[in-house]
């Protein structure tokens, strides 16, 4: 275990699986007191237990980030359990696929409510404690989809991930006087549970489009988050860090061959 986050209280929304689970484990290994936040108690409690069994400090809290009361209770839980809030990782997100011709207003609202409104609510709820911290940190999980690329079926998802960056840039200006930084990581294709059903042939095709020849691991994103949360990144705010193995660089798959 390291000590870059020694005794820091860290909230990770969407922390029960996938990217969030990877982020939670890396931060805990670096000494953080992690609050794993999820709507899913089974996977959330399992992730917190895995951290504790490995010698780290973690608690689980059930919350829906699109619900302001839940998010306020989440912030209170971090204060009660871990003594405050030093780092918020706003990672919770949903990505149901539906093309625009079939997309309903409900489809649009669900994704925006969790991904974009959920980010706003989490930041607002944690801000009073982040102001008390010695250099509070806010980390956003955006994506290459939306800010840089597009993909059929993800117009609503891409809109939220681009919207998070617009939110971040103004928040960075407003929060600078409190010595709070806010930055975003933009992952490419990362190997998580969400890819379990796509099949090996599709995974191989995805890998061929990435110059580094492989999908990313959740820890690849987690270590980028760790840097942005660290003392070394104290003068970085309102910025994005792409973690995609070079996926967004080629003009076409021929450039990778």
Give catalytic residues, as residue numbers: 157
Can you tell me the distance from the alpha carbon of 53 to that of 50, in angstroms, rounded to the nearest whole number?
Answer: 5
- φ/ψ region of 132 (left if φ > 0, alpha if ψ in -120 to 50, else beta) reads alpha
CA 74 to chain centre: 16
Give the orientation angle of helix 68-82 with respect to helix 118-132, to 10 degrees: 30
CA 121 to chain centre: 15
Instruction: Find out whether 21 and 45 touch, Cβ atoms under 8 Å.
Output: no
Q: Angle at CA 35, nearest 5°, toward 34 and 37?
A: 140
SS3 labels along 173-214: HHHHHHCCEEEEEEECCECCHHHCCCCHHHHHHHHHCCCCCC
């Amino acid at each position: 275990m390291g000590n870059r986050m020694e005794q820091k209280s860290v909230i990770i929304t969407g922390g029960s699986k996938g990217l969030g689970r990877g982020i939670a484990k890396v931060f805990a290994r670096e000494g953080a007191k992690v609050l794993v936040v999820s709507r899913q108690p089974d996977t959330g409690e399992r992730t917190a237990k895995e951290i504790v069994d490995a010698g780290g400090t973690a608690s689980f809290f059930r919350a829906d980030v699109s619900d302001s009361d839940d998010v306020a209770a989440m912030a209170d839980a971090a204060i009660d359990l871990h003594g405050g809030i030093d780092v918020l990782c706003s990672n919770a997100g949903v990505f149901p696929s539906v093309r625009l011709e079939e997309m309903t207003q409900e489809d649009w609202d669900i994704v925006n409510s969790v991904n974009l409104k959920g980010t706003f609510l989490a930041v607002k709820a944690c801000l009073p404690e982040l102001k008390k911290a010695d250099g509070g940190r806010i980390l956003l999980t955006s994506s290459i989809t939306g800010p840089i690329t597009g993909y059929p079926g993800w117009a609503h998802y891409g809109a939220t991930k681009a919207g998070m960056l617009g939110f971040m840039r103004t928040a960075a200006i407003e929060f600078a006087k409190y010595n709070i930084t806010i930055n975003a990581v933009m992952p490419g294709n990362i190997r998580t549970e969400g890819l379990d059903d796509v099949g090996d042939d599709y995974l191989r095709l995805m890998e061929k489009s990435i110059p580094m020849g492989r999908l990313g691991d959740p820890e690849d994103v987690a270590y980028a988050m760790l840097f942005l949360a660290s003392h070394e990144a104290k003068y970085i705010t309102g910025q994005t860090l792409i973690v995609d193995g070079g996926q967004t660089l080629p003009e076409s798959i021929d450039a990778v061959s």
